[in-house]
Amino acid sequence: MKAYILYLFICCISILKVSGQDFVLYPNINPRYHLEQNIENNILHLKAESKITKVSLYNRVTKRTSIIKNDTNMIRIALNELDVSYYTIMTHTNLGEIIVLGIDLLNKEHMKPLVTKNKVIEQKVKAYWVIKETYKHSGSSLSTYFIHNKKSLEYAIKKNRKDLTSFSGKNNSLIIYEIYNLKGFASRGLKNKLIKSKGNIDDSTISEKQKKAFNITPLYKSQS
């Protein structure tokens, strides 16, 4: 109920037609969030600036919630695989954001089945690479290092979030990448590009081999 009330407050109506009125999309228009939302070929496309960790689909008729896990800053949801109903959709990001939108799926008669699906490739994380920039009265200092366990990872993120709430640490920066292949990530040139990009590297500037060595979308990127 709370999610539905929130959805009513921050969403506006946008009617999209596919061979008739098959669905109605209520996009999130809150300027605080940056979430691209569109429907193409019966697929709901969501793209955020940060990583989308999961999407919750709450069916307001059956009162059931389906969870779709994710590991990048974008996700595709095939509407023809959902039951005809009314949904509140909650997009969860690694920054702790919950971005709410809604969709009313009215009819599936005209919807063509999805021919191909994206393959989900699960990569084993070998380590985390950290870019940390600390600001002081005397200037800023930059450090990079690896983290090899989740306890240290959680501590680093928790500390950064606390720093951002203080006057002295409000400009501190922390960017963390997931590393799949330490040897493939060893290039100093690649690391320098990541440092300069501040978490927004252009994937056309790195090789296919390097792309396989790490997740190009940061696991965590601080926002002051």
51-74 pLDDT tens trace: 998 888 888 888 888 888 888 899
**Encoded tokens for 108:** 């599936």
* pLDDT score recorded for residue 129: 93
**Encoded tokens for 219:** 């696991």
Residue 185, domain extent = 127-221
Domain boundary among 105, 135, 157: 105
Asked if the structure places residue 30 within a domain, the reply is yes
160-182 pLDDT tens trace: 888 888 888 888 999 999 898 88
Q: Do 152 and 191 fall within a single domain?
A: yes
Q: Do 101 and 136 fall within a single domain?
A: no
Asked if the structure places residue 36 within a domain, the reply is yes
Strand partners, 28: 11
* pLDDT score recorded for residue 64: 84
Q: Do 72 and 146 fall within a single domain?
A: no
Domain boundary among 57, 74, 105: 105
Q: Do 92 and 139 fall within a single domain?
A: no
Asked if the structure places residue 131 within a domain, the reply is yes
Asked if the structure places residue 111 within a domain, the reply is no
> Pairing between strand 127-136 and 85-93?
unpaired
23-56 pLDDT tens trace: 788 888 777 778 899 888 788 999 998 899 888 8
What are the start-end ranges of the H helices in the chain?
2-10, 150-164, 188-197, 208-211
Q: How far is CA 112 from CA 49, 86, 107, in A?
A: 30, 20, 12
Asked if the structure places residue 154 within a domain, the reply is yes
Averaged pLDDT, 178-199: 89
Asked if the structure places residue 198 within a domain, the reply is yes
Asked if the structure places residue 122 within a domain, the reply is no
Alpha-carbon distance 147 to 150, whole Å?
Answer: 8
Asked if the structure places residue 69 within a domain, the reply is yes
Total domains, the chain: 2
Instruction: Count CB-CB contacts under 10 A for residue 20.
Output: 9
Instruction: Count CB-CB contacts under 10 A for residue 46.
Output: 21
98, 107, 149: which is closest to 126 by C-alpha? 149
* pLDDT score recorded for residue 118: 40
Task: Read off the CATH number of the domain in which 31 is found.
Answer: 2.60.40
Q: What is the DSSP string of 83-145?
A: PSEEEEEEEEETTS-EEEEEEEE---TTPPPPS------PPPP-EEEEEEEEEETTEEEEEEE
Q: Do 89 and 143 fall within a single domain?
A: no
Domain boundary among 105, 138, 163: 105
